[in-house]
Amino acid sequence: MYDVIVVGAGPSGLYSTRLLEKSLKVLVLEEHKEIGKPIQCSGLISNNLENFVKIDRGFVENEIRGAILHSQKNEIKLEKPGGVARVIDRGKFDAFLAKDLKSEIMLSSGVRRVDIKKDFVSVETNGKEFRSRILLGCDGPNSFVRNHFGVKPGEIIRGLIAITREDDDSDFVELWFDKTLLPDGFFWKIPRGESVEYGMLSRDAEFKSLERFFKLKDYEKRAGVIPIGLQKTYFHRTLLVGDAAGQVKPWSGGGVVYGLTCAGIASDVIKKAFLSKDFSEEFLNQYETRWRKEIGKSITLGLMFREFYKDLNKEGLEKLFEKLKGKNLNELDMDFPIWL
């Protein structure tokens, strides 16, 4: 019998394990055969990452000072002299988070069944059954744990990435907004030092559209789905964290900092549950109360902005760019923008 079973060895699951294993017996179940692979998302993460882990040059590919936003007729340049983000290798980053863990990590162990009993949780994977006092679902946008409870995100969008082998160590990312091509999303370009990342975010994203926009021919494909929208994240003996919980920025699809933030809250609540010997849904409700207080306003207003953006036409987008050009946006935080 374990104290905690963590499903998913991504950043949220591994960081939760790091915080929990000092006082509890933890088992991590990961469906893939290698931590950090396949890579399904971009690695542009704000400097807020420093609040959770020590930055290691081994997983940092480039440092970003600002962004250039393009519409068909306008351009906005955002810049922070001290830097705003880092481009990281997600595979190496996830491996870094797992490196010093003492807990058992079982790879190639996709969950096939979850049974929430009164006094314990039963999890079955590859014909083996494991039991714990509490279950932590950190298993991404297609979360098996979340689906067990019949919970669904409000919207699913797609992120597509093309990696080309061209040197580019510039310190600005670029984003293109075109209501004709992407009514609900945007294209981007991220310099990764020894490579360049081209991407698109949209409900109807297709690689053919990405190829046409950037005139791409030879590239490495990466793709993933992103859950957008608030949802219930606590149940009897169970919590959801990260993409599984919809803890994602609606305006960009990024979720690493939000996931790490909520992993910290979840770990604290779980420790309190063991101290009080109370794993009920009523007790675990405090997790959702706390994380919504921390990031819920940003997500809610981000959802409102997303709906506003989807309703804009071409003329409305240009008017928005004109309005924003007159604002000082250089102090915006990637994770908690002041306009939210």
Buried b (16+ CB within 10 A) or exposed e, 316-339: ebbebbeeeeeeebeebebbbbee
> What number is the average pLDDT over the span 15-30?
97
CA separation for the pair 91, 280 (Å, rounded): 36
Residues 267-281 have pLDDT tens digits of 999 999 999 999 999
The answer, yes or no, to whether residue 340 has pLDDT greater than 70, is no
What is the pTM (predicted TM-score) of this model?
A: 0.95
Residues 104-121 have pLDDT tens digits of 999 999 999 999 999 999
Say whether 310 sits in a helix, a strand or coil: helix
pLDDT of residue 206: 95
Annotated domain spans of the chain: 2-325
The CATH code of domain 2-325 reads: 3.50.50.60
**Among 258, 20, 291, CA closest to 132:** 20
Residues 74-86 have pLDDT tens digits of 999 999 888 899 9
Contact 232, 289 (CB under 8 A): no
